[in-house]
């Protein structure tokens, strides 16, 4: 079993096929995706309404930057990982301390990034 077993995760990803793939990866690690959002506003509502342990955030969600979600998570001390095709340069400078993984990514890279985000590395 993975170090991540039992984690409750929020996934913010606007492309349904990518979301399904990432959800499968997370399930293989023993994580529970308790919420999946395809819009920034939807993700912000879910953070308010649900108990989550960590999040995986696409940087560009339906043409909108995910940074308001990242700020809310940071303020609540909920760890998160950025997944992006833009690389670290696509992440706002003040948020680059959080792990950034380039799309497409293998499950092992996602797992390492989540462990790092959780401070378990």
Per-residue pLDDT tens for 6-36? 999 999 999 999 999 999 999 999 999 999 9
In this prediction, residue 1 has a pLDDT band, given cuts at 50, 70 and 90, of: low
Ordered domains of the chain (ranges, CATH): 8-116 (3.40.50.2300)
Average pLDDT, integer, range 50-72? 97
Per DSSP, the residues of the chain read --TTTT-EEEEE-S-HHHHHHHHHHHHHTT-EEEEEESSHHHHHHHHHHS--SEEEEESEETTEESHHHHHHHHHTT--EEEEESS-GGGS-GGGTTS-EEESS--HHHHHHHHHHHTT--
Say what the pTM is.
0.95
């Amino acid at each position: 079993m993975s170090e991540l077993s039992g984690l409750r995760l929020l996934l913010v990803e606007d492309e349904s096929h990518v979301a399904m793939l990432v959800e499968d990866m997370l399930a293989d690690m023993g994580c529970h995706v308790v919420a999946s959002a395809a819009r920034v506003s939807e993700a912000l509502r879910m953070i308010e309404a649900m108990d989550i342990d960590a999040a995986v955030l696409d940087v560009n969600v339906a043409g909108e930057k995910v940074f308001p979600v990242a700020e809310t998570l940071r303020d609540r001390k909920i760890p998160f990982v950025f997944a992006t095709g833009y690389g670290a340069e696509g992440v706002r400078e003040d948020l680059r301390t959080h792990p950034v993984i380039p799309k497409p990514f293998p499950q092992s890279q996602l797992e390492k990034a989540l462990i790092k985000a959780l401070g378990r590395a």
